[in-house]
């Protein structure tokens, strides 16, 4: 039985982030947490969690960041600044069971076994900002489109919020 991302979506149990006790914790797949050029922008467009408490795997966060930055590149590298606001601290573990051909029943194995680390996840609460994009007024629609595409890469419901940045 292969564990999929949906098995880790619900944030149940204690968060496990103590890397010093686990050998072989994978590195986060997120290449960069910022994109574009930092500067003075008039609007902030945010992708906000709208789904209660959940976990987002690090490869889903990277896919969302790449998708958003790809669309934002069309307005120019110096016309936006994007920030990924969550960090995948939680270590995801899997106790792999053998389900080979010829086995008439699944192995029960050790109950409540610790498992090997298989990935990382970020826990997000309802209303927490996942990605922020700073743009000027003429590029707000493009930023909304970029975050809409990015939200399709995430396993939770999200909403897009636009704010004017006060000077």
Give the CATH number of domain 5-164; options: 3.90.1170.10, 3.40.630.30, 3.40.50.300, 3.10.129.10: 3.90.1170.10
pLDDT of residue 99: 66
CA distance 130 to 61: 9
pLDDT of residue 97: 73
Each domain of the chain, given as residue ranges in start order, spans 5-164
Q: For residue 160, list its beta bridge partners.
A: 47
Collapse the DSSP code of 33 into the 3-class scheme (helix H, G, I; strand E, B; otherwise coil) and give the result. Answer: coil
First to last CA, the chain: 54
pLDDT of residue 149: 97
Tokens of 161: 């919020």
Is-contact 24 117, C-beta < 8 A? Answer: yes
Per-block mean pLDDT, blocks of 10 residues, the chain (167 long): 67 79 88 93 96 91 96 93 95 78 63 83 95 96 97 95 89
Collapse the DSSP code of 83 into the 3-class scheme (helix H, G, I; strand E, B; otherwise coil) and give the result. Answer: strand
Closest alpha carbon to 47 in 144, 165, 155: 144
Question: Which residue's structure tokens are 């072989």?
Answer: 24
**Residue 130 CB burial class (10 angstroms; 0-12, 13-18, ≥19):** buried
Closest alpha carbon to 133 in 94, 106, 163, 157: 163
111 φ, ψ (degrees, to nearest 5): -75, 145
pLDDT of residue 94: 83
């Amino acid at each position: 039985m292969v564990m999929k991302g949906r098995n880790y979506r619900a944030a149940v149990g204690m968060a496990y982030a103590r890397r010093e006790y686990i050998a072989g914790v994978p590195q986060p797949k997120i290449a960069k947490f910022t994109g574009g050029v930092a500067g003075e922008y008039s609007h902030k467009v945010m992708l906000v969690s709208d789904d209660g408490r959940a976990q987002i795997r690090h490869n889903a966060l990277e896919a969302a960041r790449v998708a958003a930055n790809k669309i934002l590149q069309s307005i120019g590298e110096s016309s936006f600044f994007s920030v990924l606001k969550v960090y995948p601290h939680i270590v995801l573990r899997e106790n792999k069971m053998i389900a080979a051909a010829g086995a008439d029943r699944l192995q029960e194995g050790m109950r409540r076994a610790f498992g090997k680390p298989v990935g990382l996840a970020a826990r997000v609460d309802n209303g927490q900002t996942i990605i922020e994009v700073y743009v000027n007024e003429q590029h707000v629609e493009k930023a909304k489109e970029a975050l809409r595409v990015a939200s399709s890469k995430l396993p939770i419901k999200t909403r897009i919020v636009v704010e004017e940045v006060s000077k």
